Amino acid sequence: MPRTVSSLTATILGTPRVGPNRELKRAIEGYWAGRIDKARLESVAADVRTQTWNQLSAAGLDSIPVNTFSYYDQVLDTAVLLGAVPARYDVVPDELDRYFAAARGTAAIAPLEMTKWFDTNYHYIVPEIGPATQFALNPAKVLGEVEEAQKLGTAARPVIIGPITFLALSKAVDGAEPPIGRLDELIAVYATLLATLANHGAEWVQIDEPILATDVLDNAADLARHTYGVLGDLSYRPAIFVATYFGELTDALPALAATPVEAIGVDLVAGSASAIAATPELADKTVVAGIVDGRNIWRTDLQSALGTLASLRGSVGRLAVSTSCSTLHVPYTLDAEPDIDAVLRSWLAFGFEKVTEVVALAKGLTHGREAIAGEVAASNAAVASRKADLRLHNSDVRERLASIMASGHSRGPAAERRKSQDARLNLPALPTTTIGSYPQTVEIRKARAALVAREIDKVEYTNRMKAEVESVIRLQEQLGLDVLVHGEPERNDMVQYFAEQLDGFFATANGWVQSYGTRCVRPPILYGDVARTKPMTVDWATYAQSLTDKPVKGMLTGPVTILAWSFVRDDQPLADSANQVALAIRDETVDLEAAGIAIIQVDEPALRELLPLRRKDKNAYLDWAVSAFRLSTSGVADSTQIHTHLCYSEFGEVIGAIADLDADVTSVEAARSHMEIVGDLTAAGFANSIGPGVYDIHSPRVPETSEIVEGLRAALSAVGPDRLWVNPDCGLKTRKTDEVEAALRNMVEAAKQVRANA
């Protein structure tokens, strides 16, 4: 047991780290491009850390998370910490370059895989654990940050991803058993780490175990009891704070509470407070109450939060206030948004504003509500203003929605649709197409920047984009593709583009959030009822169609994806918001159809991402997600062909839902999963057409015609020639034009060869 430590009363679980103006992002990209050296990069990084810590201390937190900084990703950092980076990167001599090689690959070595962090839009690097993996502690980064923070006088609390979560998120390679089997080995490494941290003066350590809030492991409670039993029993260590987030702990809570750890963090936004009162073992623990939402942007209702906190007091040893999870998932501060409407602004709290909420709540908890009377009054006013705001309730939209839902929103039988589409479209067997976007050329980027800087006007911008559309149409005609697209040059982002045109959303100017590595996105904020006031894509689609006799596919983003990549309302069920967005997309499909567009694709790449973390919640989600998609696509005639596109490789749990979407054509990422998806979808009862991606667009490599032929033959054996489409596995916007041209030429050639023999 550690000696007495200072108590923990107000903290957050982690912070954004790209820099308030994305300084770190720019520095890292500058380093990759050779524009700045390592010393310069390290100094930018140190500045970002110092600024963050100073700000958190000054705001009044009494325990500051450190080691939440990262050059790329915290799971990759943990792999480095534990000596679990695959040996294939050892050929890169410099440590930092080796780290980036694991994250992004080099010309010669493939990177580690990347996948979504729980149900967020943040992507982590997936560690590989194989027979050759030998764990070995490498604590330089965490010790460096602890020391750096201590020098500033910060009450530094190192944050480490826990062994259970680390192993559960890792992937077994080279025939190894599931990594979780190596838990005991890893516990020994963590034991050494804890002693090392104690030696370096760390009073507290935060160990993150979000996996305990999911159903990924069947025996989560046992593993928690065992791991934190062993680590808690160590005689020389910092006080241990096990942080959990993104959901409720169920039986892992009493299991953890029965171990000797000092503090347990619970997410009171995703889960309820009642479990705490029901866990008597918490009577001598510090409970770190994650009551301020760390991943959405709404201002906390302080009065109600204080009530919840007060009700917990009697059930726990000590109570600390915190965000529900790291604020990595929200932008830095509202201060960077001078143009937000003042009313809307009063409803919001970004990263830094959340810190002030935590501090206020901790103060109110210790000194009584009167001590924060001003803050509570302001919060009450915001709550009242939001409730009363007319923009939250558009009765026109609600009535239309209710009437469509009441009259049903399915299309006619797929076979009938197929007949009228065949008659209208006259496509060859194995039709070739692409997923929507074409390369974001230098010209497109320049034009966008010039528009933002007001160097060119909207008319000039539109003309330049039209020139792009024309060149993309000409390219596709020349390549001999069967179904063309306009290339999406006018879209900054597939969600933001729609959010900017819909009532009920607003786009931030500076609300950047890390998506992976140096990639940041600006999720729009959905605050009110959604309404489409005018067509959003029809001009672009009809312009493209006017240039060619081949069919041009209209391109829309689906309701689930629009929600997944936005900050959403927390005052109504997500399903209700999804239906409102679906209605807007439905209106757009109807307008596209009326304008003569015969094929419309509604992308749902995020269908899998929003899947709830607990099994018991999954069906309800899939029901509303599928229903919203159908609502968005069932307003058109049988003769209009609906496509959808999904892009992630682990379809397993959602395969039935994909079939239920009932799109006429579904294109999916498959190049890396070897066409298995075709068989799986067919086995799930899907009888419509499928476009398994025939090559991986995430790599610059140009696929050989023969490889594509081979993949197509494999797919053909599962579905037959009448249901197979030929396309890349995702949009082409990240590729270079010459790569795209060469790859598509081979793809079209492969389709011809296979057709000839089918």
User: Least CB distance from residue 498 to ligand GLN, whole Å?
Assistant: 12
Please name the amino acid found at residue 476: Q
State the SS3 of 212-233: HHCCCCCCHHHHHHHHHHHHHC
User: Least CB distance from residue 731 to ligand GLN, whole Å?
Assistant: 2
In the bound state, the residue with its beta carbon closest to ligand GLN is 731
Measured from the CB atom, the residue of 286 and 641 that comes closer to ligand GLN is: 641
- Residue ranges for the binding site for L-methionine? 435-437, 488, 603
Q: Check if the beta carbon of residue 735 is closer than 8 Å to that of residue 441.
A: no
Measured from the CB atom, the residue of 603 and 662 that comes closer to ligand GLN is: 603
Per the annotation, the verdict on 226 as an active-site residue is no
- Residue ranges for the binding site? 22-25, 116, 121, 435-437, 488, 519-520, 565, 603, 609, 645, 647, 660, 669, 730
Cα-based torsion angle of the residue sequence 197, 200, 204, 206 in order, rounded to the nearest 10 degrees: -40
Nearest to 436 by CA among 589, 603, 560, 594: 603
Q: Which residues contact 278 (CB under 8 A, 6 or more apart)?
A: none
Q: Check if the beta carbon of residue 479 is closer than 8 Å to that of residue 745.
A: yes
Q: What are the backbone angles phi and psi of residue 470, rounded to the nearest 5°?
A: -60, -40
Measured from the CB atom, the residue of 262 and 488 that comes closer to ligand GLN is: 488
User: Least CB distance from residue 136 to Zn ion, whole Å?
Assistant: 38
Measured from the CB atom, the residue of 386 and 645 that comes closer to ligand GLN is: 645
Q: Which residues contact 424 (CB under 8 A, 6 or more apart)?
A: 598, 639
- Residue ranges for the binding site for 5-methyltetrahydropteroyltri-L-glutamate? 22-25, 116, 121, 519-520, 565, 609
Residue 246 neighbours by CB distance under 10 Å: 23
Measured from the CB atom, the residue of 312 and 677 that comes closer to ligand GLN is: 677
Q: Which does 603 bind (CB under 5 to 8 A by kind): ligand GLN, Zn ion, none?
A: ligand GLN
User: Least CB distance from residue 723 to ligand GLN, whole Å?
Assistant: 21
Q: Which does 237 bind (CB under 5 to 8 A by kind): ligand GLN, Zn ion, none?
A: none
Q: Check if the beta carbon of residue 484 is closer than 8 Å to that of residue 477.
A: yes
SS3 state of residue 726: strand
Please name the amino acid found at residue 509: A
Q: Which does 436 bind (CB under 5 to 8 A by kind): Zn ion, ligand GLN, none?
A: ligand GLN
User: Least CB distance from residue 409 to ligand GLN, whole Å?
Assistant: 23
Please name the amino acid found at residue 158: P
Q: Which does 494 bind (CB under 5 to 8 A by kind): ligand GLN, Zn ion, none?
A: ligand GLN
- What is the sign of the dihedral through the CA atoms of 538, 632, 727 and 754? negative
Q: Cα(684)–Cα(595) distance, rounded to whole angstroms?
A: 35
Q: Check if the beta carbon of residue 31 is closer than 8 Å to that of residue 180.
A: no
Measured from the CB atom, the residue of 10 and 481 that comes closer to Zn ion is: 481
Q: Is residue 730 involved in binding Zn ion (CB under 5 A)?
A: yes
Task: Please choose, out of 43-51, 247-255, 325-333, 641-649, the segment that lies near Zn ion by the rule CB under 5 A.
Answer: 641-649
User: Would you put residue 517 in left (φ > 0), alpha (ψ -120 to 50) or beta?
Assistant: left
User: Least CB distance from residue 494 to ligand GLN, whole Å?
Assistant: 5
In the bound state, the residue with its beta carbon closest to Zn ion is 647
> Per-residue string for binding with Zn ion, 570-609, x by CB under 5 A?
-----------------------------------x----
User: Least CB distance from residue 732 to ligand GLN, whole Å?
Assistant: 7
Q: What are the backbone angles phi and psi of residue 10, rounded to the nearest 5°?
A: -140, 120
Binding site for ligand GLN (CB under 6 A): 435-437, 488, 494, 555, 603, 605, 645, 647, 730-731, 733
Which residue is listed with tokens 């709540």? 361
Q: Which residues contact 576 (CB under 8 A, 6 or more apart)?
A: none
Residue 646 CB-half CA count within 13 A: 26
Choice among 123, 367, 486, 698 that is catalytic:
698
Q: Is residue 647 involved in binding Zn ion (CB under 5 A)?
A: yes
Measured from the CB atom, the residue of 16 and 436 that comes closer to ligand GLN is: 436
Interacting residue ranges for Zn ion, rule: CB under 5 A = 605, 647, 730
Active site residue ranges: 698
